[in-house]
Amino acid sequence: MGWFLLLAAAAILSSLYVALVAFLSARYPETHWDWSALDWDDIAFPDGFVWGVAAAAHQVEGGCDNNNWSRWENQTAPDGTPRISRGQKAGRACDHWNRYGEDIQLITELGVTSYRFSPAWSKLEPEPGRFDDDAIKHYHDVLDAMKQAGVTPMLTLHHFTHPLWFEDMGGFEKEDNIAHFVRFAERLFAEYRDKIELWCTINEPAVFAAAGWFQGRFPPGKENAQLTAEVLANLMTAHVRVYEAVKAMPGGDNARIGLVKNIFQFDPSRRYHLADWVVARTFDHVFNGAILACLKTGRFRVRVPGQIAVERDLPGASASLDFVGLNYYSHFHLRSQLGRDPWFRFVERPGDIQTDMDYAIYAEGFHRALVQIAELGLPIYVTENGVADARDDRRALYIRRYLYAMSRAIDDGADVRGYYYWSLMDNFEWAEGYDMKFGLYSMDPATLERKLRDGARAYTMVVQASRELD
Ligand code: FCB
């Protein structure tokens, strides 16, 4: 009798397990297309579609030596290893501060008509409340040069870097500090509102929070899950406050303001394994779900039993976007390792085409992300998408597949208005330094010479064809 009950219980439990895994698999499919059976050239984009390239101040300008990253680059980890791969520093970067004229020319030579850039907050506001006239004028000059060249700007207010004084007062760890960011945004808007229509508040809040406070790969180098979610809550609050403050200013109605959301999907390494599902869904909840839900419902909520509990009402969040920016690169596979620290690990999928970053080529995921973000019911700009490929032997494949996926998402109803390739040229890739080559143009850090890569033509050809149909 005892044996019988035990067997019956085991049978019920295993059926439940199987049913749960089947449910999760059906609810969160990991789409894969048979590329050999697809006509990749069958792509089309709406009239007036915006084609552009993206970059960010610290990665290209040079002379950003007064911010959270410049300090980080000069530090070592407690075990003595440098913070940045091989001890590299951003330094003069691509010298874009001085060569912006030439670079805008390079943008026009690609045939694209928009440039997503970020100004350096630390140069503009070197001390709290004191703005630097020369830096303000510099970005006026940059914007004027863009206008003359027929390139429209998209400006990102916060792209991973901020002044040291802001970092020293606790940065986005403290809700009270948000007022400083709002003042910065107001000042920039007052200055440049006649020259810029598209404004992004914050670049990739989840990447910024996770890399800085969970993985310890970005400044301030902490590893604390609860703090990660608190910083995320503050970043969402900052986004909403900037949106509301700018909209209330003269000209605010004409500005189109968005947040840049990076989506990486977290797929279970073993789709039959419940523990892998738990890990993958947990990561998705913190990294993607909490933010998207906050933008829909006006409530930020992250809960991971025993690790994280953050809840905040943000009633303005559900009306804080004129568009949403999507950055998409790839997905990750997660494997559980219960009882170990950490309780998860990232694994590569055999057979995937890898890029130089830990990002496999996965264009189907771009389609998934676009369909998911379209649920917000807003115009979408792809604010970043691109590939690190020093050998330039995967760039064309990447571009063709991802643009196909975007075209298919548009067919499926995603209201995509524009696409910005990351990046115009090779630049300082944060913790990886100059080793990651994302550029359509290569950039030699020694000579600063820029050269169009062969693989970039996959992009310029699509842009050209799409503009001819306009
Ligand atoms: C994104 C960042 C961008 C660049 C790309 C490769 O997460 O926003 O600055 O580093 O990754």
pLDDT in tens, 200-227: 999 999 999 999 999 999 999 999 999 9
Same domain, residue pair 120 and 266: yes
**Ligand 1 centroid distance, CA of 438 (Å):** 10
> What is the atom index within ligand 1 of the atom nearest the CA of 59?
9
Give which of 207, 197, 204, 202 is closest to 184, Cα–Cα.
Answer: 202
Nearest ligand 1 atom to the CA of 430 is 10
Q: Confirm or reject: Cβ of 438 under 6 Å from ligand 1.
A: yes
Q: Tens digits of per-residue pLDDT, 146-195?
A: 999 999 999 999 999 999 999 999 999 999 999 999 999 999 999 999 99
Q: Is the pLDDT of residue 1 over 80?
A: no
Nearest protein Cα to ligand 1, atom 9: 56
Q: Does the beta carbon of 207 sit less than 6 angstroms from any atom of ligand 1? A: yes
pTM: 0.98
pLDDT above 90: residue 378: yes
Give the sign of the dihedral formed by CA 26, CA 27, CA 32, CA 34: positive
Mutate to test the pocket of ligand 1, among 384, 389, 434 (most ligand atoms within 8 A of CB): 384
Residue 14 sits in the same domain as residue 114: no
**Most ligand 1 atoms within 8 A of CB, residue of 84, 264, 422, 434 to mutate:** 422
CB of 204 closer than 6 angstroms to any ligand 1 atom? yes
Tell me, in angstroms, the distance from the centre of ligand 1 to residue 2's CA.
Answer: 59
For 85-94, the pLDDT digits (tens) are 999 999 999 9
At residue 349, the pLDDT reads 93
For ligand 1, atom 4, which residue shows the shortest CA distance? 429
CA dist 469 → 40, 53, 390, 465 (Å): 18, 20, 33, 7
Sign of the alpha-carbon torsion through 461, 466, 468, 469:
positive
DSSP tally for the chain: helices H, then strands E: 15, 13
Residues 116 and 23 in one domain: no
The DSSP result for 425-437, as a single string, is B----GGGGGG--
Same domain, 311 and 448: yes
pLDDT-derived band at 339, boundaries 50, 70, 90: confident
> Scanning the structure block, which residue is given the tokens 């738990």?
278
Count the residues in the chain: 470
pLDDT above 80 for 433: yes
* Interval between CA 244 and ligand 1 midpoint (Å): 26
Residues 73 and 203 in one domain: yes
Radius of gyration of the chain (CA): 23
Q: Three-state DSSP class for 176?
A: helix
CA-CA-CA-CA torsion sign (172, 176, 309, 257) = negative
Task: Give residue 2's pLDDT.
Answer: 84
DSSP classification of residue 127: B
Nearest 10 degrees: CA dihedral of 202, 114, 420, 172? -10
Q: What is d(CA 416, CA 414) in angstroms, rounded to the nearest whole number?
A: 6
Contact predicate 92/428, CB 8 Å: no
What pLDDT band is residue 126 in, cutting at 50, 70 and 90?
A: very high
pLDDT of residue 40: 87
DSSP track, 231-297: HHHHHHHHHHHHHHHHHTSTTGGG-EEEEEEEEEEEEESSTT-HHHHHHHHHHHIIIIIHHHHHHHH
pLDDT over 90 at 3, yes or no? no
Considering the domain architecture, whether residues 3 and 46 belong to the same structural domain is answered as no
* Candidate from 383, 429, 434, 437 with most ligand 1 atoms within 8 A of CB, to mutate: 429
Whether 277 and 247 share a structural domain:
yes
Alpha helices in 28-131 (DSSP H): 57-60, 68-73, 96-110, 121-124
What's the CA gap between 228 and 223, in Å, rounded?
8
13 pLDDT exceeds 90? yes
What CA–CA distance (Å, rounded) separates 432 from 438? 12
**Does 56 sit in the ligand 1 pocket, CB within 6 Å?**
yes
Whether 14 and 102 map to the same domain: the answer is no
- The CB density around residue 98, as the number of other CB atoms within 10 Å, is 15
- Mean residue pLDDT of the chain comes to 97
Q: Is the CB of 422 inside a 6 Å radius of any atom of ligand 1?
A: yes
Tell whether 109 and 234 lie within a shared domain.
Answer: yes
- Give the pLDDT of residue 80: 94
Residues 406 and 283 reside in one and the same domain: yes
Cβ-proximal residues to 356 (8 Å cutoff; 6+ apart), any chain: 388, 389, 390, 435, 436, 437
> For 389-403, what is each residue's pLDDT tens digit?
999 999 999 999 999
Show the tokens assigned to 321.
């976007």
Q: What span, in angstroms and rounded, lies between the C-alpha atoms of 63 and 43? A: 41
Q: Which residue has the tokens 């998911």?
A: 372
Q: Say whether both 165 and 20 belong to one domain.
A: no
Of 364, 281, 383, 263, nearest in space to 323 by CA: 383
Distance from the alpha carbon of residue 423 to the mean position of ligand 1, in angstroms: 9
Ligand 1 atom closest to Cα of residue 386: 6
Report the domain count for the chain. 2
CATH number at residue 132: 3.20.20.80
**The predicted structure's pLDDT at residue 181:** 99
User: Could you tell me the distance, in angstroms and rounded to a whole number, from the CA of residue 425 to the centre of ligand 1?
Assistant: 13
Choose the residue to mutate in 158, 430, 435 for probing ligand 1, maximizing ligand atoms within 8 Å of C-beta.
Answer: 430
Note whether 317 and 408 are same-domain residues: yes
In the predicted model, is pLDDT for residue 461 greater than 90?
A: yes
Range of the domain at 162: 36-469
Mean pLDDT of the 397-418 span: 98
Q: Quote the ligand 1 centre to 419 CA distance (angstroms).
A: 15
How far does the centroid of ligand 1 lie from the alpha carbon of residue 383, in Å?
10
96 pLDDT higher than 70: yes
Q: How far, in Å, CA of 416 to CA of 433, rounded?
A: 32
